[in-house]
Structure 1
Amino acid sequence: MRVLIVIISAVFSITLNAQRDWTGPTGNETLPNKLEGLERAIEVIHFPKQNDPIKIDNTYYWKHMTSILCKQSDITISEYGAYLFYDGKWNLRKSYPLKELDKTFGTKKQKMKQAEPYTWVKNWRVDNNLFGGWAMWYFIGKDSTGKTVCGYETINTTNNLLNK
């Protein structure tokens, strides 16, 4: 019985994913609720913005880096993560634990100093399957006056394998 339930769950999951609309964003989509109405004071930059994978052994790597910067004031980050775009909207992929920000971006106690760039050099997407998609990284924090601000930027990961 347990095996039958696992098989039915797997088929159901595959069917749901097959019916998803994986068409990319046009730029006119509504922002996620948690970003709506917030001043965009944190610059977020992905390099490269369109990211093509390479294959090493049996794994695909979309190698890119992500940088954040605030020109206006110091900012203390209170939340960050990524959305994936499908079915015509941004869907939360993951909010990351704040302690990881210090480790990956090099901040101290999640604080960004004014005009200081912070970079996650190996913000790589890794998968055993070759498929493209769109993500949007976001950051929310408080500036030196206590105002809640944000930053976000999209990145396109393609299925254009570089080393065929």
Structure 2
Amino acid sequence: MKTNFTFALCFLIQLATGQVDYGTPENETIPEKLKNLEVAIEVIHFPKENDPIKIKDKYYWKHATAILSKNSAVKIIEYGAYLFYNNQWHLRKSYGLKDLDKNFGTKKQILLQGEPYVWSKNWRVDKRLFGGWAMWYFIGINENGDTVCGYETINTTSNLLNQ
């Protein structure tokens, strides 16, 4: 009985203090909903590998996200972010379309051809310091009525810049 209790206690301590390894996605791995769509929206994160800073009791991974359609105007119908863990992408959140206009500066969720739209303060904020991979995605309808997409990963590290 004492051995079982000790084993259980050690196991719980390991769970509470163990570092989570979220893994690294393979380049060809993308969420199912994006697999059969033409990639026609460019998505760029800066910086691509994002190290946090600590301000008071929170960690901030400060980065910007830009989107661009080169071929035609595109009306965005869905956008959001996935997180990578357990060797696959999991939907973190789909955002409201009005947030696209507010954050990226679009009008009525339309990307004009050749016009870059940038969310300069697309920051991750958390009270916990941990890294992981995210993928931002955008799905829209182009001028020909085709459903198109764009997506890009970003690596948020646990390499604290200010200690």
Alignment TM-score, normalising by the size of structure 1? 0.87
Task: Please say if 1:148 is aligned against 2:147.
Answer: yes
Larger radius of gyration: 2
- CA distance in 2: counterparts of 1:19 and 1:149, whole angstroms: 38
Aligned-pair Cα RMSD in Å: 1.8
Q: 1:19 deviation in Å? A: 10
Q: 1:143 deviation in Å? A: 0.3
Q: Deviations over 1:85-137 (max 9, x none)?
A: 00000000000000100000000000000000000000000000000000000
Match of residue 76 from structure 2: 77
Q: 1:34 deviation in Å? A: 1.2
- CA distance in 2: counterparts of 1:140 and 1:20, whole angstroms: 31
Q: 1:28 deviation in Å? A: 3.3
Match of residue 40 from structure 2: 41
Q: Deviations over 1:54-103 (max 9, x none)?
A: 00001100000000000000000000000000000000000000010000
- CA distance in 2: counterparts of 1:27 and 1:62, whole angstroms: 23
* Consecutive unaligned residues in structure 1, runs of 5 or more: 1-14
Letter in 2 for 1:28: E
User: Which segments of structure 1 move beyond 2 Å, counting only runs of 4 or more?
Assistant: 18-21
- CA distance in 1: counterparts of 2:47 and 2:138, whole angstroms: 19
Match of residue 24 from structure 1: 24
SS, match of residue 114 in structure 1: coil
SS, match of residue 34 in structure 1: helix
Q: 1:159 deviation in Å? A: 0.3
SS, match of residue 101 in structure 2: helix
Match of residue 119 from structure 1: 118
Contact 1:81 1:94 survives alignment (8 Å):
yes
- CA distance in 2: counterparts of 1:111 and 1:57, whole angstroms: 38
Q: 1:20 deviation in Å? A: 7.0
Contact 1:20 1:87 survives alignment (8 Å):
no
Match of residue 6 from structure 2: none
Match of residue 102 from structure 1: 101
* Consecutive unaligned residues in structure 2, runs of 5 or more: 1-14
Q: Deviations over 1:16-44 (max 9, x none)?
A: xx797511112232x21210110100000
Alignment TM-score, normalising by the size of structure 2? 0.87
Match of residue 6 from structure 1: none
Identity of aligned residues (%): 67
Contact 1:23 1:86 survives alignment (8 Å):
yes
Match of residue 87 from structure 1: 86
Match of residue 3 from structure 2: none
Question: What is the correspondence of 1:50-61 to structure 2 with a 5 Å cutoff?
Answer: 50-61=49-60
